[in-house]
Structure 1
Amino acid sequence: MKIHTALAILAFGVGTASAQTAAPAVKVDGGKLEIKSIQTPQFQASNVGEKRWRPKDWMEVDFSFQIKLPQSAGGRNGALDSLAVTYYIALNAQTKDGKYEVIKGAFNYVDIPASEDCHALAYVSPATLRRLLQKDGFTPSDIKAWGYEVTVGGQRIEGNSSMGKAPWWEKTESFSMNEGVMLAKTETPFGILWGDYDVSAKKQ
């Protein structure tokens, strides 16, 4: 009996140590999502001719955050190779069966500097917004709720939403999920703008 008890305690200790070892050392302090309407930027080039067009309204998602690393990973002077962020944006629009339209976007952000104010950007095109909202134009009043989750090494280490800490998007029976429609900045006309304001993104 004592042998079995000792083995059980040992197994528990090993399992606990493994879980502690696997836990990511990085800490992420995430703010609220800033979601706004932004028009297509206009550029001029001298040798390609002119085309008439009207700038339209995009959705811009701006996630502000800061990471902290242990000294063994560089501390304040270090950088994290990557972290994953999944966004959930519920719209004030419903399907024919009464489900709210939700935009889901997942991105890997790379080379994140520690102890600095960082920004991650994501976008939804005017064409996608028109399809989901069934109208021209987009304003922040078209947003019903937002949320996000941050993972490092597959483990969730941060999250927030406009509806509190509870992940409202898990109530899948109430929503129509639209995946693959949220774009990284490099996939949009905004790709060349704002220098080092935002961290680099790779779409999942």
Structure 2
Amino acid sequence: MKSLSLLLASLLITGAVHAQAPATADKLPGVKVRVKGVEVEEQQTPMLQVSNVKMKRWNPKNWIEIDVEFDIKLPESAGGRKGSYAGMTMNVYVVLQHMTKETPPKREVLTGTLELLDIPADEPCHALAYIAPATLKSIFQKDFVTASSDIQGWGVEFIAEGQVVATKSSIPMKSGKPWWEENKDAFAMMPNMVLNKMQTPFAAVFGDYDVPVRVK
């Protein structure tokens, strides 16, 4: 009887430990993301027609637009092809043709985070991010910046439920890690310089071309 009591006590303790153990960290989220393409190009400040406002004369400037096309797949328990994913994070990295003045110099990288909302699983999706002309002028010391001459590369990263579920980059990965993690000492990261559409004059254009974002 004593040995049976000890066995039962051992089973109860083991069960209690398992109940308190955290969920495995490598369990992947139910959503799957495929990045289909990324376009980086200039967009001039939109000229919007409004009423009851005295218009001012100005010259539109160049913004840098990052247009990320992607799609998602959801399990049937989350709606499958007819479902939507409530929210995920997209990190954007833009490598500039510009170096810091420190020794040794580092390549400057503008970064930003978009909180994407209500992402449909039954259609191609787009996320739009922007770099403001004022930011670009402060770095390059010129009014008009072009993607072909002033942008060296880019990278995007999707995070769902705290885990990276997709990445895409114009710069090849050598060690299996994206370049923004592989060689951090070579880059000078400049956070919060890449904006979501709602932080820009483009908030009122393109309709529902792109997925909604959380307003910061």
State TM-score, norm by structure 1: 0.87
Please show how residues 1-204 of structure 1 align to structure 2 within 5 Å. Answer: 18-19=23-24, 22-97=27-102, 98-141=105-148, 142-165=150-173, 166-170=177-181, 171-202=183-214
Report if the CA contact (8 A) 1:149-1:159 is conserved.
Answer: yes
Unaligned runs of 5+ in 2: 1-10, 12-17
**Bigger radius of gyration among the two:** 2
Distance 1:129 1:156 in 2: 29
Shift, 1:33, TM fit: 1.8
Report if the CA contact (8 A) 2:95-2:109 is conserved.
Answer: yes
Q: Percent of aligned positions with the same letter in both sequences?
A: 45
Shift, 1:172, TM fit: 2.2
Greater strand content: 1
Unaligned runs of 5+ in 1: 1-6, 8-12
| CA displacement 1:14-68 (0-9 Å, x = unmatched) | 9xx9438842011101123211100001123332212111100001010100000
Report if the CA contact (8 A) 1:82-1:110 is conserved.
Answer: yes
Distance 2:107 2:48 in 1: 36
Partner of 1:160: helix, strand, or coil?
Answer: strand
Report if the CA contact (8 A) 1:101-1:132 is conserved.
Answer: no
Partner of 2:24: helix, strand, or coil?
Answer: helix
Partner of 1:19: helix, strand, or coil?
Answer: coil
Letter in 2 for 1:189: P
Distance 1:107 1:164 in 2: 23
